Amino acid sequence: MATALGLARQGIRSHVLEQAPQLREVGAGLQLGPNGLRALDHLGVLDHLFKTAVFPQHQVLLDVQTGKIIKVLDMGAKFSTRYGYPYILAHRHDLLDALAKACEDSGLVTVQTSKAVTHVIDRENSAEVQCADGSHYVCNALIAADGLRSVVRKEIFVDDPLRPTPYAAFRGTLPAAEIVPQTGKDDLLIWAGSDSHLVQYPLRGGELYNQVAVLRTDHGFDTEDDRQAASAELDTRFSTAHPSVRAGVRKINRGARWTLWDRDPIVVWTKHRIALLGDAAHPMLQFMAQGACQALEDAVCLSWRLGQTPDNIERAFTLYQNTRVLRATRVQLTTRFMDRLWHPSGTDSTLRDEFLSKLAPTDYELFDWLYGDKTFVEGTHVA
């Protein structure tokens, strides 16, 4: 929807095919860093999103067992001034609503749901898409934002395996009144442990509270027995944790569990009139809360490039790819490294704490490359 809106902002019409019966997001929160907000500002939806967003004042890293504060990052005025945008905590529904409403208002986006794309044909000067219900579409250009298990990536680009990680996540929201946050009520908390972590933050102006519990596991989640075992494992894993963590984990929704996957980076995302975008191009672990932010950067970059050369789609797609590949790959690979920051044990843990304790809450240099980047709208990585 962000890409469709970006195209509409350039005066380009698009048609969205969505496999789900409705446009819906999972009922959970999303952290959006200043780079994601820069993209959303280009799409013109910040005002809408700010109505319900929470603006955290601090990101606090705590020891999951003892509750000791390891590091505080100041996310207040100095942070927003440095990057030009704040860090926000948004409900996924609210982001989707903002994008869908703006798409509708543009009059340039049409959407069809219950349209699962099963097959794609590259016709060089056009692309053909076939759907599970037998319908097919021929288009001037095809942008595949079809996520981690992208059909288009597999059929047109590479049939590469998902890269397994030992981690799975449970997540969900609950009324904020049911949780007593360990530090300030608007803080973003990350409770880190050697084989698990818990992220907690408020949503919807403080009405709701979001929690994501991540743990190492080798259990499945397919049968009812698996689900009961996974739920018991979640409790066991956090059974010796700080009381605030135990209280939060007890209330996490057990109905769904997300196995964390990524794939190795690829450098070719476009072919003739077909382009990959978002998780379809660069799926990443969620340890830096950047997957959606990177997809938003892609959306703005691709539509900007198409707006620049509307008569040469292939050239616009190549410019988009060349602008984005290095940046998205850096985020994708750095995210893997973050495993060592969130889940160290023994000496690694001591070294991490010592390193982080030397940083002041307003030492932002480590984040400049991530939050300050403007290449997706200024395009300096172009070959």
Q: Could you list the residues that contact ligand FAD (CB under 6 A)?
A: 17-20, 30-31, 115-117, 145-148, 151, 169, 171, 212, 258, 278-280, 286, 289-293, 295
Min separation Cβ 34 and ligand FAD, Å: 12
Min separation Cβ 2 and ligand FAD, Å: 8
Min separation Cβ 1 and ligand FAD, Å: 8
Q: What is the DSSP letter of 354?
A: H
As to burial, measured by CB atoms within 10 angstroms (0-12 exposed, 13-18 middle, 19+ buried), residue 302 is buried
| Shorter beta-carbon distance to ligand FAD: residue 336 or 353 | 336
| Shorter beta-carbon distance to ligand FAD: residue 286 or 318 | 286
Closest CB to ligand FAD belongs to which residue?
291
CB 371 within 8 A of CB 35: yes
| Shorter beta-carbon distance to ligand FAD: residue 135 or 362 | 135
Bridging pattern class, strands 274-276 and 142-144: parallel
| Shorter beta-carbon distance to ligand FAD: residue 295 or 313 | 295
As to burial, measured by CB atoms within 10 angstroms (0-12 exposed, 13-18 middle, 19+ buried), residue 344 is middle
| Shorter beta-carbon distance to ligand FAD: residue 151 or 234 | 151
Min separation Cβ 31 and ligand FAD, Å: 4
Bridging pattern class, strands 14-17 and 109-112: parallel
| Shorter beta-carbon distance to ligand FAD: residue 290 or 321 | 290
Q: Could you tell me the end-to-end alpha-carbon distance of the chain, in angstroms, rounded to an integer?
A: 28
Min separation Cβ 354 and ligand FAD, Å: 28
Sheet with 196-203: strands ordered across: 69-74, 58-63, 188-192, 196-203, 208-216, 163-175, 258-262
User: What is the spatial distance between Cα 108 and Cα 141, in angstroms, rounded to a whole number?
Assistant: 15
What are the φ/ψ torsions at residue 371 (nearest 5 degrees)? -90, -20
Min separation Cβ 382 and ligand FAD, Å: 23
